[in-house]
Amino acid sequence: MGAGRVSEAAGEFRDALRQVGLESIGAAGEPDEGPGLVVVGPQGIRIPLEVKWRSLVAERDLPSLLLEEAQGTPRKTTPVVVAGRVTQRARGELRSRGWGWLDLRGHVHLEAPGVFIDARVTPAGAATVPSKEPLAGRVGLELAVLLLMRPEAALGIRASAAELGRAPSSVSEEMSRLRDAGLVDQDHHPVVPDLFHALAGRWRPDSVDVGALPAPQEDPLDQALRIAADDPEDQPGWALGGSLAAVAYGAPLHVSGAYPPDLYVPDKVTLRRAIQLLGTARSHEDRAGTLRLAPVSAVCGGRVDGKPYGHSVWPLVHPLFVALDLAQDPGRGAEALASWDPPEGWRRVW
């Protein structure tokens, strides 16, 4: 960790404190003395700080950051960390240990004798902001989905590119954006639940209410509509998401047996053809079901046989996509999501 970057971090922390009305000086009394700061509190109380820099502070980063504390080093200063992103879970642990932090996206926290600061501040300069938002394009969405579906794999750039069928350069660029935003760590593990919530904010599949639905595994339109319900794990096809899939996976939701299904379809051609053949519903209340265009191919390409899960006649989407659907409903969906763990074999990332 370069001494220059730590010194810059001290300057950024000092600037953030100035925004909330606190002045600080360098450890030796000069404003630009280095990474040590002394906050001038009420009645002239001086609070020495030890400033550390990290690009990201997530739960998995805390053991190394807190190593000195764990070894019982006497605390003569209040430790603070400046980072491009400090996750919510990490903030709670830092607070319990008496640490302060500055999240360069615009949040400063400091607790010390006579001082309590927990405030929004103007984010650090443009140099800390990625040139393009993460998850803004298709490759970013695909990469986020891949990382969340396999959160412990630590997939490298070339492995991820091979999985997605994308150029390594494109995947590298998107991985850098996710890392700069604090959504992926240095080992390419997703930061959860932060990456999930960022993806949920971008999860807006096109959808159409239809007046009729085909019968899975029996309909003569099977090939024309790419339903493929009888071979869910070996080829892409229609997949059940939304509330009915959530219930099948054991989420604490209550829906009637007549609740219209939400079905993901593989591509725009299939969606247009389904609308032509099935017709649109007169109203949302009169729908036979809702068809959703899969935002990424993994939705319809990684289906799960629904029979072991509530004997669903439709293949199910991966639990990740069910969770993303639930996250779109800030009411009962979010409530169900908060208390739902996926079945054994899948890891909770929300």
- For 18-31, what is each residue's pLDDT tens digit? 888 888 776 544 33
Q: Is residue 343 part of a domain?
A: no
Residue 70 — pLDDT band, cuts 50, 70, 90?
very low
Q: Is residue 296 part of a domain?
A: yes
In the numeric block, the tokens 């072991």 are attached to 308
Q: Is residue 344 part of a domain?
A: no
217 with 324, same domain: the answer is yes
Q: Is residue 137 part of a domain?
A: yes
DSSP designation for 43: G
User: What total number of domains does the chain contain?
Assistant: 3
236 with 324, same domain: the answer is yes
Asked whether the predicted pLDDT for residue 220 surpasses 90, the reply is no
> Taking Cα atoms as reference points, which of 276, 257, 279, 256 lies closest to residue 268?
276
Domain final residue pick, 181, 202, 223? 202
Q: Is residue 116 part of a domain?
A: yes
For residue 182, give the CATH number of its domain.
1.10.10
Of 31-40, 222-231, 266-275, the range with the highest mean pLDDT is 266-275
Beta sheet of 23-26, edge-to-edge order: 23-26, 36-40, 46-57, 78-86, 100-103, 107-112, 115-120
Q: Is residue 60 part of a domain?
A: yes
274 with 157, same domain: the answer is no
Asked whether the predicted pLDDT for residue 230 surpasses 90, the reply is no
- Give me the helices (H) in the chain, please: 3-19, 62-65, 67-70, 88-96, 138-149, 157-164, 168-180, 194-202, 222-225, 242-248, 268-278, 298-301, 319-327, 332-338
What mean pLDDT comes out for the span 321-349? 94
Domain final residue pick, 72, 97, 127? 127
212 with 326, same domain: the answer is yes
The per-residue pLDDT for 2 is 52
Residue 182 — pLDDT band, cuts 50, 70, 90?
confident
214 with 317, same domain: the answer is yes
- Percentage above 90 pLDDT, the chain: 59
Q: Is residue 350 part of a domain?
A: no
151 with 236, same domain: the answer is no
Q: Is residue 119 part of a domain?
A: yes
237 with 330, same domain: the answer is yes
Domain final residue pick, 202, 222, 245? 202
Domain that holds residue 40: 3-127
9 with 120, same domain: the answer is yes
> Taking Cα atoms as reference points, which of 129, 130, 128, 124 lies closest to residue 13?
124
98 with 11, same domain: the answer is yes
- Percentage above 70 pLDDT, the chain: 89
117 with 170, same domain: the answer is no
234 with 245, same domain: the answer is yes
Asked whether the predicted pLDDT for residue 72 surpasses 60, the reply is no
For the stretch 249-260, pLDDT in tens is 999 999 887 899
Whole-number mean pLDDT of the chain?
87
243 with 143, same domain: the answer is no
